[in-house]
Amino acid sequence: MPKTHSRPRAFVAHLDSRTESTPLARYLLRAYLSGLPSGERYSDTAELLLGELFANAVQHSDAPDDRHVEVRFTLVDSCLRLEVHDAGSGRPVLHAPLPDDEHGRGLFLVNEFAERWGCAERPGGIGKYIWALVAPAPAPGPARTLVTA
């Protein structure tokens, strides 16, 4: 019988456009990653980036409050693709935060920790989506024993 390689399915959820939904988005990501053989290798960076992208979608969107924010997760080759969709018309602007800035680090962190990221119009709908590719952390190596002479 020939071997088949199944690609993990994409996960999609629609969440309330509220700051309080950010932990739920991260929880759903952890659940998705727990079903992948090496999901833990993405978790730290992916949770950070998803939290920032989701919070930005809620904070900076000019969409009506009753619109949902959609999150999508899928593996593309060896990278985890995160998407956050919102109905707002604004586009993200990357800037370097000043040391005294209390806000404005979200997209800066995405730019620093994602393999690549971008923004695109939603196909067939209003608004946009921000996507980020997260590379897996290196696999833990074998434990090393310190040998002293």
Q: Which domain holds residue 71?
A: 11-134
> What's the half-sphere exposure (Cβ side, CA atoms, 13 Å) at 54?
30
Q: Is 118 contained in some domain?
A: yes
Task: Identify which of 49, 69, 73, 47 has the alpha carbon closest to the alpha carbon of residue 57.
Answer: 69
Q: Is 141 contained in some domain?
A: no
Q: Is 6 contained in some domain?
A: no
State phi, psi for 129 to the nearest 5 degrees: -140, 145
Q: Is 5 contained in some domain?
A: no
| pLDDT tens digits for range 47-57 | 999 999 999 89
Contact 50, 29 (CB under 8 A): yes
In the chain, % helix, strand, coil (3-state, to 5) comes to 30, 25, 45
Q: Is 144 contained in some domain?
A: no
Summarize the confidence of residues 79-83 as an average pLDDT.
Answer: 97
Task: Identify which of 60, 69, 78 has the alpha carbon closest to the alpha carbon of residue 25.
Answer: 69
Q: Is 126 contained in some domain?
A: yes
**Domain total in the chain:** 1
Distances from the Cα of 115 to the Cα of 9, 16, 20, 42, 98, angstroms: 21, 28, 28, 12, 24
Q: Is 69 contained in some domain?
A: yes
CATH number of 68's domain: 3.30.565.10
Q: Is 143 contained in some domain?
A: no
Summarize the confidence of residues 18-28 as an average pLDDT.
Answer: 95
Per-residue pLDDT at 107? 85
| pLDDT tens digits for range 91-145 | 887 777 666 666 667 788 899 999 999 999 988 778 999 999 999 998 776 655 6
